[in-house]
Chains A and B, each alone.
Chain A
Amino acid sequence: GAGVSQSPSNKVTEKGKDVELRCDPISGHTALYWYRQSLGQGLEFLIYFQGNSAPDKSGLPSDRFSAERTGGSVSTLTIQRTQQEDSAVYLCASSPSGMDNEQFFGPGTRLTVL
């Protein structure tokens, strides 16, 4: 079956612009995670959605970052007023129930802020 998909695969933007990154989880998976991978910081947790529960936003680095998940499926990560330090690969993962150990990752969106 289809895995986690993310779009766009690459995004180049200018400093100060807003960007939206999209994640389509595996159908039926109730848990969805966003991570960021950069050279200096490795792979870091950003935010976690589980069903209808309030999301765990503890990893968001600033209030410029926000995410939503509509209808328990597709998620959008929004970065406002992008900065050069936001340049990274943004990875989305999903798991069947949120009580599983395996998270299935998408290919990521490579964001470059000029």
Chain B
Amino acid sequence: KQEVTQIPAALSVPEGENLVLNCSFTDSAIYNLQWFRQDPGKGLTSLLLIQSSQREQTSGRLNASLDKSSGRSTLYIAASQPGDSATYLCAPGRPGTASKLTFGTGTRLQVTL
């Protein structure tokens, strides 16, 4: 059974800092991995998807890397802004029908002025 751990559980940084969120998973036989953000009381917003054959994906100030063999992914946020404050979730997808996702419990990020 896939287990997903996200460290740290919570993080507070001043505006402008670059930061790294970590995700580890126990079963390296994944099809893909998705990063999401969730604002309080809201649904999930997809940020980046990395296929198992890829090493990284970039979107704006976000960069996600994947090391499948070691069961790790990182989300790098450059020049953080108060609007980045949210909970960030990683979810590796299983091979097979529908690529079912297993979620970590997330990293709660606060970016202060």
B partners with A? no
Which A positions have Cβ atoms within 8 angstroms of B?
Answer: none
